[in-house]
Amino acid sequence: MKDIETMVCEDIKRRQELGIKKYGVTVADNPLSLKEWLTHSYQEQLDNAVYLRRAIETCERLEAENRILRELLKEVMFRTGDDPRYNRHGYSLRVEHETSFRDVNYRNAPLYPTADEAIDAEIKESLEGRA
């Protein structure tokens, strides 16, 4: 596997080749004024902020889905008796939820026809808590 620095150098080389094809000159030979260069860079940074925010939102959604899937897996293991750490005879289970613990009572827990509905409900609840 290539190291990061090598990959960045290769990316720079590809961008340089693309720029020469697109504009016909290198950055060094481009006649833009300093203000034009700064404006161009500023606009690229605004675009970059949008890309970063989108990536952060994706990470948060995936983390929420991962937590939910772990909870659902624990429930399946509990209900099927596949995990000896859980009480197979009772209906209460102490479940880790983020950094705190909560008691889950399966007699009163809502039942969802599909895992997707359960995940959607948990994500909605999680996102409403952040607002």
- Per-residue pLDDT reduced to its tens digit, 68-87: 888 887 777 667 665 545 44
Using CA atoms, how far apart are residues 98 and 85, in angstroms rounded to an integer? 19
Per-domain residue ranges for the chain? 61-130
Burial of 78 per CB tally in 10 Å (0-12, 13-18, 19+): buried
Q: Side-chain half-sphere of 87: how many Cα atoms within 13 Å? A: 11
Closest CA to 16 of 1, 26, 8, 24: 26
Task: Determine contact, residues 86/73, Cβ cutoff 8 Å.
Answer: no
pLDDT computed for residue 38 by the predictor: 97
Return the amino acid letter for 23: Y
Our CA dihedral for 107, 110, 114, 118, rounded to 10 degrees, sits at -120
Residue matched to tokens 């290539």: 2
pLDDT over 80 at 95, yes or no = no
Q: Return the higher-pLDDT residue of 114 and 126.
A: 126
- pLDDT-derived band at 94 (thresholds 50, 70, 90) equals very low
Residue 114 pLDDT > 70, yes or no?
no
d(CA 66, CA 59): 10
**Does the predicted model carry a pTM greater than 0.75?**
no
Higher local confidence (pLDDT), 92 or 63: 63
Q: CA–CA separation, 127 vs 57, rounded Å?
A: 11
